[in-house]
Amino acid sequence: MNDQAWYIIEDADQIDSPALCIYKERVRENIRRLLETIPAKQVRPHVKTNKMAEVCQLMMDAGIHKFKCATIAEAEMLGMIQAKDVLIAYPVIGPKIHRFKKLIQKYPGTHYACLIDSAEGARAISAAFENDQLIADVFIDLNVGMNRTGIRVSKALDFYKTVLKLKGTRVTGLHAYDGHIHDKDFEVRKKKCLEAFQDVPALKNAIESIAGNPVTLVAGGSPSYLIHAAQGDRECSPGTFIFWDKGYKDGLPDQPFDFAALLLCRVISIPTPDTICVDLGHKAVAAENPQPRVYFLNAPDAIPTAQSEEHLMLTVKNTADFQIGQVLYGVPHHICPSVALYEKAWVIENHRVTGIWEVIARRRKISI
């Protein structure tokens, strides 16, 4: 019986560090756990976390066919694997309008839509599409309190009526992201979420009355997806669930997911009696949060104390417990931007390397 820890890679000597490692069966398990909490038809995962065609294919294999993304490259990745329905959850402005149009033309098997939240943006998209005798499907982006993008719910109906006059766009949905709500206490999170969305159902009904057909509501992210799923009238967009991370593991104890992506690094120096240095600098793990930015499964007492571009210094109780070249397995505080730092990921199954996946959508451009 193999009783070694789940994350140990027996042939780690073939992996140069730092490296991103994906544990394929644990990814599948996270997908299975997601679908235990929400029907496949009601989920539209955000792919910004994984940025890999192979990971998205695993979701498609499980019956998930609608996705959300943030970039043209992520949208193209989904077109390449023939995903059925993709929402670019981002205002498409400037040169991106032309790229969006080319995307639709190149991948006719995938239905694409994007966000609008301004008359200027909507007019620009409409003009570009009308010029080619095309119609762009768009979702009105609602600001439900995050104050990042979107139009206030109270102004959205008038905005919809303005957009109705445009010939090159067609409003097919509403989008609302409540990423500012991430309280650890589920009941507090639920109360804030429901308050933020209290006027959205009435808006949806009003638009449907004018349109004469249903419109799709896409709402929330990982912290709130369980709350939105219970409403039954919307699609939900968790993304981090696929790999999970230390931030959400600690902050969302109500959610059932486990770590499925780790950062492999090595001890490169032991400069003092209580300090080790590993090759996991700013360029290898997301650095937008204060320390600790990473937690080591096989060195849980190691405390990050300083970091530079290629180095991470850790205070440890006893450096005699560590050797030069020793492999450490790290869970990032925030997995999404950490994945984007790597060109490829090592696929791990049964403690061994079984393949390499390209993090293809970390690029700003694939072909469009």
Digit-coded pLDDT (tens) for 168-209? 999 999 999 999 999 999 999 999 999 999 999 999 999 999
* pLDDT at residue 152 in the model: 98
Fold annotation for 84-237 = TIM Barrel (3.20.20)
Q: pTM, whole model, 2 decimals?
A: 0.97
Residue the block writes with tokens 């008038």: 158
Residue the block writes with tokens 């019986």: 1
Per-residue DSSP letters for 185-247? Answer: SHHHHHHHHHHHTTTHHHHHHHHHHHHSS--EEEE--TTTHHHHHTTSSSEE---GGGT--HH
Domains 12-19+257-362 and 84-237 share a fold: no
Our measurement of the distance from residue 28's CA atom to the centroid of its chain's CA atoms, rounded to an integer in Å, reads 16
Per domain, the residue ranges of the chain are 12-19+257-362, 84-237
* pLDDT at residue 355 in the model: 98
* pLDDT at residue 3 in the model: 79
Which residues in the chain land under pLDDT 70? 1-2
Helix 153-164 to helix 119-131 angle, to the nearest 10 degrees? 30
DSSP β-ladder status, 19-23 and 344-349: parallel
* pLDDT at residue 2 in the model: 59
CATH 2.40.50.140 holds for 12-19+257-362: no
